[in-house]
C-alpha cells in the first residue's frame, strides 16, 4: 500500500533575482502531483545540498538566469558528494549556452532545459527518470 | 519490501545519523513495506527529553516567519531544534507546495537544526499520519525542542494539542473579530495566543478585544496573550521564555495527553484500514443512491451491517 510521492526541490543559488521561472515550475510540478519545496533566492550550494538531504528529496531542480548554471550545479554536486550522497538526481533550467548544456549533461544531470522549453518537458523528464507511467 | 533500504535506515537510526532520519521519515510517510520495522525501532528507542511545541493558525498569519525567528532564539540559547512543517496537499492531484521552509532556509546549513516539510496528504485536523509517525522518529534524536507547524485552516486543528506540550495559536489583526475567536476550538486549544504583525494599525484594538474575551476563561487555564512582529523579531525572545515556562508547567499533563493520543492513533489507523475495506462497497452503493434507489443513510447502514468486526 505504498503511496510514494515524487519530491522535488527547486533551488536558486547565488545572486540572481529572476524568480519567475522557479515560481512557474513550482506550480507546474505541484499540479503534476509532485511535492515541491522551494529554497527561495540567494541560497548557498551547501545549504541547498543539506536541505535536500534533510528533506530526502528525489530531485533537485536548479533554476538560474545569470548564466551560472554550470558553476552552481558543480558546487551542489560536490556538496552532495561531501555528505556521501549519490542518489539525489539533478536537473536544471534557465539561461545557458550550447557548451553549458554539454557540460551539464557530462556532469550527470538528467535534464537540461534552456529558456523557452515547454514546461511539460520538465514534468516528462522527471516522470521518465523516476519511472512513472 | 526493499530490505536494503529498511536495514540501512535502521542501522543509521541506531547511529543517530540525520541522513537515516530523513530516509526513515520517507519510509513511514510513504507507507513503504517494512515501515512497521522502522516504527517499532523508533517506538522502543524514543526519549521524552524534547519540549514539544505546536504552532498553528490561519494561513498568512506569519507562522513560518515566527518559527524562523524562534529557531534563531533557541539556537542562541544553545538548544538543538527539530522542525516539522506541514503544508496542504492538493486533494485533486496529490501534489503540494511545501512553502514553509523558504522562510527558514538560512538554518539549512546549521547542524543543530533539522527541518522537514510534510504534505498533509489528505489529513484532517492539521497533521497527517505521516507526521505523527515521523514525530516518533524525531524523538529518537537528541533535540531539545521539536516545533510542529501545522496547517492553518483555522477551525479544525484541535488534534495537534495531544501531540505537543505547548500549543501556540498565531493570529493577526483583521483576521476576524471576537466572534471568530469565540468559535469552538480556538480558545480551548491555545496555551498561548500570539498576535503577530503587531505593527498594523488596528493591532492595539484587536489586542484589547482579545484580552477582554479571554477574561471569561478561568485564570488557571487562561491562555497567555502576547504580541510579536515576526519579520523584525520583536517579541520573539519573550515568546520563547513563555514557551519554556508554559512548557515546563504542562509537563504534568504529558501522561494524560499521551493516553488520549494513543487512543486517537489506534482509532485513526483502524479507520484508515476500514475505509480501505469499504471503498468498493461505497462505489457500488453510490450508484444505487444516484439512481434514487436508496438514501445515503440506508447505504451507510448496509455497509455497517456488512463490516464484521470480531
Residue found by looking up cell 494561513 in the block: B59
* Cβ pair B108:A32 closer than 8 A: no
**% of residues, chain B, pLDDT over 90:** 47
Does residue B309 surpass a pLDDT of 90? no
Dihedral sign computed on CA atoms, order B23, B25, B30, B32: positive
Higher pLDDT pick, B171 / A70: A70
B58 and B26, same domain (yes or no): no
In a domain, A74, yes or no: yes
DSSP B93: T
Q: How confident is the model at residue B126 (pLDDT cuts 50, 70, 90)?
A: low
What was the pLDDT predicted at B130?
79
CATH of the domain at B70: 3.40.50.300
B28 and B92, same domain (yes or no): no
B123 and B145, same domain (yes or no): yes
CA distance B2 to A87: 15
B23 and B132, same domain (yes or no): no
In a domain, A2, yes or no: no
B178 and B240, same domain (yes or no): yes
Which of B35, B105, B269, B277 has the most A C-beta neighbours within 10 Å, making it the best mutation to test the interface with A? Answer: B105
What is the mean pLDDT of the segment spanning B212-228?
Answer: 89
- Chain A to chain B, count of Cβ pairs less than 8 Å apart? 95
Least confident stretch, A54-58, B259-263, B264-268, B306-310? B306-310
> Out of A1, A30, A56, whose CB is closest to B97?
A30
* Cβ pair A5:B276 closer than 8 A: no
What was the pLDDT predicted at B94?
85
Number of domains in chain A: 1
Beta pairing partners, A91:
A61, A111
Residue A59 · residue A89 · CB < 8 Å: yes
B19 and B141, same domain (yes or no): no
Query: Which residues contact residue A114 at a Cβ distance below 8 angstroms, ignoring those fewer than 6 apart?
Result: A93, A94, A95, A96, A101
Q: Which residues of B touch A30 (CB under 8 A)?
A: 90, 93, 95-97
* Cβ pair A4:B119 closer than 8 A: no
**What is the complex's ipTM, to 2 decimals?**
0.90
CA distance A59 to A82: 18
CA distance A94 to A110: 15
B185 and B287, same domain (yes or no): no
Does residue B22 surpass a pLDDT of 70? yes
DSSP states of B25-71: HHHHHTT-TTHHHHHHHHHHH----SEEEEEE--TTSSHHHHHHHHH
B27 and B136, same domain (yes or no): no
Which of A51, A63, A119 has the most B C-beta neighbours within 10 Å, making it the best mutation to test the interface with B? Answer: A51
B29 and B51, same domain (yes or no): no
B87 and B218, same domain (yes or no): yes
What is the mean pLDDT of the segment spanning B283-292?
Answer: 92
What is the mean pLDDT of the segment spanning A96-123?
Answer: 96
Beta pairing partners, B52:
B146
* Cβ pair A4:B25 closer than 8 A: no
By residue range, what is the domain housing residue B299?
Answer: 259-306
Nine-digit cell string for B205: 484594538
Range with the largest mean pLDDT of B21-30, B56-65, B148-157, B160-169: B21-30
Q: How confident is the model at residue B155 (pLDDT cuts 50, 70, 90)?
A: very low
- What is the reported pTM? 0.88
* Cβ pair A30:B23 closer than 8 A: no
Number of domains in chain B: 3
Query: Which residues contact residue B283 at a Cβ distance below 8 angstroms, ignoring those fewer than 6 apart?
Result: none
B265 and B247, same domain (yes or no): no
What was the pLDDT predicted at B64?
93
* Cβ pair A54:B32 closer than 8 A: no
By residue range, what is the domain housing residue A54?
Answer: 7-130
> Out of B19, B89, B119, whose CB is closest to A53?
B19
CATH of the domain at A102: 3.40.50.280
B50 and B40, same domain (yes or no): no
Least confident stretch, A64-78, A107-121, B110-124, B220-234? B110-124
For residue A125, report the phi and psi dihedrals to the nearest 5 degrees. Answer: -60, -40
Amino acid at each position: 500500500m505504498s503511496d510514494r510521492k515524487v519530491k522535488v526541490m527547486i533551488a536558486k543559488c547565488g545572486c540572481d533575482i529572476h524568480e519567475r521561472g522557479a515560481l512557474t515550475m513550482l506550480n507546474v510540478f505541484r499540479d503534476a502531483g509532485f511535492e515541491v519545496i522551494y529554497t527561495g533566492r540567494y541560497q548557498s550550494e551547501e545549504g541547498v545540498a543539506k536541505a535536500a538531504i534533510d528533506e530526502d528529496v528525489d530531485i533537485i531542480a536548479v533554476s538560474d538566469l545569470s548564466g551560472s548554471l554550470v558553476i552552481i550545479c558543480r558546487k551542489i554536486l560536490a556538496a552532495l558528494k561531501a555528505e556521501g550522497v549519490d542518489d539525489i538526481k539533478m536537473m536544471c533550467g534557465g539561461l545557458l549556452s550550447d557548451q553549458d548544456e554539454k557540460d551539464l549533461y557530462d556532469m550527470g544531470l538528467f535534464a537540461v532545459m534552456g529558456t523557452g522549453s515547454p514546461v511539460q518537458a520538465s514534468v516528462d523528464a522527471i516522470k521518465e527518470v523516476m519511472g512513472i507511467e | 519490501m526493499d530490505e536494503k533500504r529498511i536495514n540501512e535506515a535502521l542501522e543509521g537510526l541506531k547511529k543517530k545519523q540525520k541522513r537515516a532520519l530523513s530516509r526513515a521519515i520517507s519510509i513511514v510517510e510513504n507507507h513503504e513495506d517494512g515501515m512497521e520495522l522502522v516504527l517499532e525501532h523508533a517506538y522502543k528507542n524514543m526519549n521524552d527529553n524534547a519540549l514539544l511545541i505546536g504552532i498553528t493558525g490561519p494561513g498568512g498569519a506569519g507562522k513560518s516567519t515566527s518559527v524562523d525567528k524562534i529557531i534563531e532564539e533557541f539556537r542562541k540559547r544553545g538548544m538543538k531544534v527539530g522542525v516539522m512543517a506541514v503544508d496542504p496537499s492538493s486533494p485533486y492531484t496529490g501534489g503540494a507546495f511545501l512553502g514553509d521552509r523558504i522562510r527558514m532556509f538560512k538554518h539549512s546549513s546549521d547542524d543543530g537544526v533539522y527541518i522537514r516539510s510534510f504534505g498533509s496528504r489528505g489529513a484532517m485536523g492539521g497533521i497527517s499520519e505521516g507526521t505523527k509517525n515521523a514525530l516518533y522518529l524525531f524523538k529518537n534524536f537528541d533535540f531539545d525542542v521539536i516545533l510542529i507547524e501545522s496547517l492553518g485552516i483555522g477551525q479544525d486543528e484541535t488534534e495537534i494539542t495531544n501531540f505537543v506540550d505547548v500549543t501556540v495559536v498565531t493570529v493577526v489583526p483583521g483576521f476576524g473579530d471576537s466572534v471568530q475567536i469565540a468559535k469552538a476550538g480556538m480558545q480551548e486549544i491555545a496555551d498561548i495566543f500570539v498576535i503577530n504583525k503587531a505593527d498594523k494599525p488596528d493591532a492595539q484594538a484587536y489586542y484589547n478585544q482579545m484580552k477582554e474575551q479571554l477574561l471569561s476563561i478561568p485564570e488557571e487555564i487562561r491562555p497567555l496573550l502576547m504580541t510579536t512582529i515576526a519579520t523584525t523579531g520583536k517579541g520573539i525572545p519573550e515568546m520563547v521564555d513563555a514557551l519554556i515556562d508554559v512548557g515546563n508547567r504542562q509537563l504534568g499533563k504529558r501522561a494524560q495527553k499521551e493516553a488520549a493520543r494513543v487512543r486517537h492513533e489506534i482509532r485513526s489507523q483502524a479507520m484508515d484500514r476500514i475505509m480501505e475495506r469499504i471503498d468498493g462497497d461505497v462505489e457500488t452503493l453510490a450508484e444505487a443512491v444516484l439512481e434514487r434507489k436508496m438514501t445515503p443513510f440506508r447505504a451507510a447502514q448496509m455497509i455497517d451491517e456488512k463490516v464484521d468486526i470480531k
